[in-house]
Amino acid sequence: MGEPTANGNHSAQVDDDDAHAQAEAAKIAANDDFKEAHYQKAVDGYTKAILLNPDQAVYYANRAAAHIRLESFGSALADATKAIELDPKYIKGYYRRADASLGMGKMKKALSDFKRAASVAPRDPDLRKKLQQCEREVKRIRFEEALAAPAEKPVAEEIDLSSMPVEGGYDGPMMEGNEDDGYTLTRDFVIAMLERFKDQKTIHKRFAFQIILQARELFKAAPSLVDVNIAHDAHITTCGDVHGQFYDLLNIWELNGLPSEDNPYIFNGDFVDRGSFSVEVILALMAFKVLYPQHMHLARGNHESQGMNKLYGFEGEVKHKYNATMADLFRETFCWLPLGHVLNGRVLVVHGGLFSKDGVTLDDLRRIDRYREPPEEGLMCELLWSDPQPGAGRAPSKRGVGVAFGADVTRAFLEHNGLDLLVRSHEVKDNGYELDHDGYCITVFSAPNYCDQMGNKGAFIRFNGATMTPQFTTFDSVPHPNVRAMAYASNIFGSMFGM
């Protein structure tokens, strides 16, 4: 081939200039989407910019910020690392990578990146603030680890309800019974409790501890995978993540009725964290579990874990509203939550999704020893963390834990286990639900306007026993008291999510 002509070089330059201009335009549009909390659209816009001009560190760092808002911390980590490779002095690359590490609970890695950024820009006031906050968090974690000792026996066995008398000045709802003979939970008490929670008041710790202890015994007696039978003329409602949005939970019950023997529910994990009324949510759900053990079903999500609760607000909220002993009891109780439900032998309901290997059976899930904090790999981890992907096969998770699984994986798993449908939660969806994998994988998410900023609808699914065909209801968020999301989380996590 001959040498390029001058006109050819000029044409190539014009093409490059045009592509770079289009990339900048895509970035600007994505920035606007980010400001409007349209984070997936922002990701798509930054991706377009990167395809047009892949050598700009800012595009990767901005996409990392959008991934962080979507809780795709693994993808954010990769983008921030690419930004740093392109420009080792680009402070926001280190910022974003540190924020991604924070979201994954990798506090020491976050601190390392904040220190690197500080070495590049030692006078940056926002950076100094984040560095100091992160240093305090690492010190706190190290202090707690140093003090921690293996428990000689379960926290529940150390709790003495009789040592918590109901004082005469308490003006809240009372369970039936008395101090000497004990108290009994009733539906009237639960309804009165919901009303008190609406007024931002707590119930007496004696009653709160009793609810948790009784629910713990029910969870402990359940298998890791619960079979739920729905009569031909009956139904069940499945809800996704609630995330401490108590007033939206009340709205679900306003729309669909309170739990009862004739109106059973499954709540599919992530009851707590993020929203700042998580104590109210979990006590309400556990109280109905105690009232209707066979008609109120709760499954574990990835946020029913000690690591997430420390980061995203639930532990701080429990300590603020009650005490550290109750936080420890919740941690212990969460470890007994079942990992999933099978409806009429046809529908599997789990929080996250499917697995990194073929051939997994329902009996494999039933054999999981669940009484522990979630591991970082294996079946239990993937049940809690995985997500569907558009393409076939499997890929690394955008979250940095679990796996992304395709339509072929879903179809093979369902066929292998004689199932019709997979229902999972774990991801915000604009309409509250989404059908993937030719309709064989459904995501349901029940926290509308997630974290007071996402603008999404919530949804729940009703299954009738006769057909087991999903029927969807979507709903908008309702007003709540002026308490911001993640109000009880560390300041460093609130700033990371713009709160």
Catalytic residues, by residue number, are 303
CA distance 79 to 97: 8
Both tokens of 42, joined, read: 């922002």
Instruction: Name which of 80, 81, 85 is nearest 96 in CA terms.
Output: 80
- Rg of the Cα trace of the chain? 25
Find out whether 92 and 83 touch, Cβ atoms under 8 Å.
yes
Both tokens of 403, joined, read: 């796996």
Find out whether 414 and 358 touch, Cβ atoms under 8 Å.
no
Instruction: Name which of 227, 218, 210, 270 is nearest 245 in CA terms.
Output: 270
